């Protein structure tokens, strides 16, 4: 099917990101990525309202967010392999249908259990959808320049989706109801299903391969258990049984998964031979670290604006909008540079902006103003994210056989999401410890600022590690036009 997509797009005038059917396909995958990432954050602002209406317990309310993130991150490898086996068009449409149907159920929910279940099913739909979008890019845009531009647009769409969550959630909850945070996905999803069926070619034949059931069970359960355990660390200590048991079980299951994939599976869910492709192993490792960078940028700067500078949620979202715009512009610019400069140059360049931006942020305190304390440094970090994220995605998926485009897309997305989950837990724990140590400060805001400053310094350290690891990437090839 992937070769058919490439041929179809090319036969109508080249799969360029700016012309012909390539524009429609690119707009489709960008819209899907935007919606998937948006729903990871849009619900945050609506939590108090839906809590009042549905009567959640304190622990249950957290699962409105965690239920989505857990299934999203845990099932992406399986979703990526489904795209390879059943075709990108069919899988993309199925993911959209599942995501939209779950959004409808969530928007109409009258009980906490129904809403949490709907969010978990939304995550399943997202896990099917996200790897398929990467597979469409990797197989439909075959030239180095065209693929780089497509990755730049896709990355920008996801970044802006994550950033727009607070603004869109606040606007919908205030102007309409928290239910529209979910219901808005229904008409959008319906339109995207029609576009997907009309613009993507169907597979002539479905790959008649048996699903690697042992790999699917051990890999999915291992990821889910690991991420669940890490999520619990924010409310319990790392040595708590609620954290240690699921983390240990997750690591054990992932070890079994690797043994199954390497020695026993005839058609493995995650073929280990893919890690022999230049860039796949190194790129996915850097994407894991990048997840921590993204959390430090968007999540903790939002907390700084609200808890230290006293912004409301909607105002904090608007305060981060300039950085989101810069990220979007730079990601498109980096896409044009990638075929000429190569990942070994662009990634360290982006990391220099991480060092400058996070170093500057780490000096902010309760008395800082918005422009000099937050806006300036976040613009620098946004430049770094715009340079590195699409570059890492392109480097990780480059040179992968067309039949494995879905699973490598699932791996890349899983690395970012798992890195974000682990990064959030580790950084939140570090921030809390520093805040407690600084509790003698004159104000609570000052103590919180000290905790967030530690997070920003740790994020700068992640940038150093990513820059050093980039030296292991393969040297660039001559760009194809």
Q: What is the mean pLDDT of residues 214-238?
A: 80
Assigned token pair, 305: 């604006």
Residue 9 has pLDDT above 50, yes or no: no
Distances (CA, A) of 394 to 203, 226, 353: 25, 27, 20
pLDDT reported for residue 480: 40
Q: What is the mean pLDDT of residues 243-255?
A: 91
Closest CA to 252 of 271, 276, 229: 229
pLDDT digit string, tens, across residues 66-91? 788 778 877 887 887 888 778 888 88
Task: Report the chain's mean pLDDT, rounded to a whole number.
Answer: 80
Q: What DSSP assignment string belongs to 127-196?
A: HHHHHHHHHHHHHH--SHHHHHHHHHHHHHHHHHHHHHHHHHHHHHHHHT-TTHHHHTHHHHHHHHHHHH
pLDDT digit string, tens, across residues 448-478? 888 899 999 999 999 999 999 988 887 755 4
- Cα angle 222-459-244, degrees, rounded to a multiple of 5: 30
Which range in 86-100, 278-292, 386-400 is most confidently predicted, on average pLDDT?
86-100
| Top-confidence residue, 476 or 410 | 410
Q: Are 38 and 160 in contact (CB under 8 A)?
A: no
Judged by DSSP in three states, 419 sits in helix
240/237 Cα distance (integer angstroms): 5
299: CB partners within 8 A, 6+ apart:
424
* Cβ atoms within 10 Å, residue 283: 31
Assigned token pair, 244: 């240690």
43: CB partners within 8 A, 6+ apart:
50, 64, 65, 68, 119, 165, 169, 181, 182
Closest CA to 79 of 66, 92, 65: 92
Q: Are 425 and 154 in contact (CB under 8 A)?
A: no
pLDDT confidence of 219, banded at 50, 70, 90? confident
pLDDT digit string, tens, across residues 183-217? 989 999 999 999 988 888 765 555 566 677 788 88
Tokens 């391969």 map to which residue?
209
Residue 255 has pLDDT above 50, yes or no: yes
Residue 10 has pLDDT above 50, yes or no: no
Give how far the C-alpha of residue 334 lies from the chain's centroid of Cα atoms, to the nearest Å.
19
Residue 20 has pLDDT above 70, yes or no: no
Q: Are 54 and 196 in contact (CB under 8 A)?
A: no
Residue 434 has pLDDT above 60, yes or no: yes
The pTM of this model reads 0.75
Percent over 70 (pLDDT), the chain: 88
9/20 Cα distance (integer angstroms): 8
| Top-confidence residue, 441 or 172 | 172
* Cβ atoms within 10 Å, residue 279: 20
- Cα angle 246-419-237, degrees, rounded to a multiple of 5: 45
């Amino acid at each position: 099917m992937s070769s058919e997509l490439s041929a179809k797009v090319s036969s109508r005038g080249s799969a360029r990101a700016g012309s012909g059917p390539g524009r429609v396909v690119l707009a489709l995958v960008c819209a899907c990525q935007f919606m998937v990432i948006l729903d990871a954050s849009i619900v945050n602002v609506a939590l108090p309202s839906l809590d009042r209406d549905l009567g959640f317990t304190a622990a249950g309310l957290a699962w409105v967010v965690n239920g989505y993130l857990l299934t999203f991150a845990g099932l992406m490898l399986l979703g990526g392999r489904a795209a390879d086996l059943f075709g990108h068009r069919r899988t993309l449409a199925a993911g959209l249908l599942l995501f939209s149907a779950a959004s409808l159920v969530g928007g109409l929910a009258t009980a906490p259990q129904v809403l949490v279940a709907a969010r978990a099913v939304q995550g399943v739909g997202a896990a099917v959808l996200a790897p398929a979008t990467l597979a469409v890019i990797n197989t439909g845009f075959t030239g180095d320049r065209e693929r780089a531009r497509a990755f730049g647009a896709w990355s920008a769409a996801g970044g802006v989706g994550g950033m727009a969550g607070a603004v869109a959630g606040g606007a919908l909850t205030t102007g309409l109801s928290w239910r529209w945070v979910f219901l808005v996905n229904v008409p959008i999803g319906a339109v995207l299903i029609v576009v997907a069926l009309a613009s993507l070619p169907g597979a002539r034949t479905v790959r008649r391969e048996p699903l690697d059931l042992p790999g699917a069970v051990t890999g999915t359960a291992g990821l889910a258990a690991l991420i669940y355990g890490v999520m619990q660390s924010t409310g319990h200590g790392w040595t708590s049984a609620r954290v240690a048991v699921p983390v240990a079980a997750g690591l054990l299951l992932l070890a079994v998964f690797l043994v199954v994939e390497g020695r026993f599976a005839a058609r493995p869910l995650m073929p280990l031979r893919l890690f022999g492709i230049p860039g796949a192993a190194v790129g996915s490792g850097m994407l894991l670290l990048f997840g921590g960078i993204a959390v430090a940028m968007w999540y903790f700067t939002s907390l700084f604006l609200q808890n230290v500078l006293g912004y409301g949620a909607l105002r904090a979202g608007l305060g981060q909008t300039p950085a989101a715009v810069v990220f979007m512009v730079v990601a498109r610019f980096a896409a044009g540079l990638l075929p000429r400069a190569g990942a070994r140059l662009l990634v360290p360049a982006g990391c220099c902006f991480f060092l400058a931006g996070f170093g500057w942020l780490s000096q902010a305190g309760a008395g800082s103003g918005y422009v000099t304390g937050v806006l300036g440094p976040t613009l620098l970090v946004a430049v770094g994210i715009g340079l590195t994220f699409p570059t890492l995605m392109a480097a990780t998926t480059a040179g992968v056989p067309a039949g494995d485009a879905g699973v490598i897309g699932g791996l890349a997305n899983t690395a970012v999401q798992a890195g974000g989950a682990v990064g959030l837990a580790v950084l939140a724990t570090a921030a809390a410890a520093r805040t407690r140590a600084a509790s003698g400060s004159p104000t609570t805001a000052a103590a919180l600022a000290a905790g967030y400053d530690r997070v920003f310094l740790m994020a700068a350290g992640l940038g150093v590690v990513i820059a050093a690891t980039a030296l292991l990437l393969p040297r660039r090839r001559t760009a194809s036009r």
